[in-house]
């Protein structure tokens, strides 16, 4: 690509801050409860639940909190009914935005999403308006980039991954979502340390923006992910290294 999509790495730094104040635990509890309700409480038989628990553990969520969330999902203890919703819209500069949400009340969440877009100069779109511009992938962020790009590419391909990209001073490995556990296990068996292993949407069509527009898009994404019902927000913008440095230092 001609530029760099900055949000993928920024959102991980933001998640670390959210984890310190417990905000991320609430989101992961919803994810676990929803997965357990859909596919049962056995992580060996429920890929969604296994993934949700993996994310919670990576954020150091206490074991009893994880177990309680599972029991809410299986009905062993009372809990809310969560609905998975994909919201789509446009940020300033014509940048496409895709949002994954889990809510117990869409009549509360939908107006909140609409308002967040409008405040930041964007607009909430209709279902299907931007999702075609994104592709679902399993994503693995490498913690030991000193292995080198050539070696990591060899390990990644042998593990069944599709691609390796240099991002934010490190490397991210992408794979088909169905191969999540196979690839993760294979990478770890080859001493590849991971800072994150997750399902993401990556843009298949990107929009170049300048620093001013990029800053507006990032503010919108931050607002969206501050919403307790939002699990993740993605955008298809890219910026030059010069503009990215300007935004990072502002």
pTM for the predicted model, two decimal places: 0.85
Chain position carrying tokens 């553990």? 57
Q: Average pLDDT for residues 208-229, to the nearest whole number? A: 94
The two domains 83-126+206-249 and 133-203 share their CATH topology (first three levels equal)? yes
What pLDDT, on a 0 to 100 scale, did the predictor assign at position 2? 40
Question: CATH fold of 133-203, please?
Answer: Alpha-Beta Plaits (3.30.70)
Give the domain ranges of the chain.
7-74, 83-126+206-249, 133-203
For 7-74, CATH gives 1.10.10.200
What is the average pLDDT score of the chain? 89
Asked if the model's pLDDT at residue 12 lies above 60, the reply is: no
For 83-126+206-249, CATH gives 3.30.70.980
- Which of these, 28, 2, 1, lies nearest to 15 by C-alpha position? 28
Q: Average pLDDT for residues 17-27, to the nearest whole number? A: 71
Q: Who has greater pLDDT, 244 or 168?
A: 244
| 119 within 8 A of 223, measured Cβ to Cβ | yes
DSSP string, the chain: --SB--HHHHHHHHHHHHHHTTHHHHHHHHHHHHHHHHH-S-TTT-HHHHHHHHHHHHTT--HHHHHHHHHHHHTSS--PPPEEEEEEEEEGGGEEEEEEEEES-HHHHHHHHHHHHHHTT-EE--TTSSGGGEEEEEEEEES-GGG-HHHHHHHHHHHT--EEEEETTEEEEEE-GGGHHHHHHHHHHTT--EEEEEEEEEESS-EE--HHHHHHHHHHHHHHHHSTTEEEEEE-EEB-HHHHHHHHH-
What does the pLDDT look like over 67-104, one tens digit per residue? 999 999 999 988 778 999 999 999 999 999 999 999 99
How many whole angstroms separate alpha carbon 242 and alpha carbon 238? 12
């Amino acid at each position: 690509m001609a530029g760099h999509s900055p949000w993928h790495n920024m959102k991980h730094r933001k998640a670390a801050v959210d984890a310190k104040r417990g905000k991320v635990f609430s989101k992961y509890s919803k994810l676990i409860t929803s997965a357990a309700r859909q596919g049962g409480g056995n992580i060996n038989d429920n890929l969604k639940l296994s993934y949700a628990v993996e994310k919670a553990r990576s954020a150091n969520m206490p074991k009893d909190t994880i177990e309680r969330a599972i029991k809410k999902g299986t009905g062993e203890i009372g809990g809310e009914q969560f609905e998975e919703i994909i919201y789509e819209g446009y940020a300033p500069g014509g940048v496409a935005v895709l949002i994954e949400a889990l809510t117990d009340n869409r009549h509360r969440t939908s107006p909140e999403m609409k308002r967040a877009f409008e405040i930041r100069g964007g607009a909430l779109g209709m279902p299907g308006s931007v999702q075609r511009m994104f592709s679902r992938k399993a994503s693995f962020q490498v913690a030991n980039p000193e292995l080198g790009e050539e070696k990591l590419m060899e390990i990644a391909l042998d593990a069944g991954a599709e691609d390796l990209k240099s991002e934010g001073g490190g490397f991210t490995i992408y794979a088909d979502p169905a191969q999540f556990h196979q690839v993760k296990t294979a990478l770890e068996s080859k001493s590849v340390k991971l800072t994150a292993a997750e399902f993401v949407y990556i843009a298949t069509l990107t929009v170049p923006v300048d620093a001013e527009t990029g800053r507006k898009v990032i503010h919108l994404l931050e607002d969206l992910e501050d919403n307790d019902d939002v699990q993740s927000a993605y955008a298809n913008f890219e910026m030059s290294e010069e503009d990215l440095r300007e935004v990072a230092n502002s």
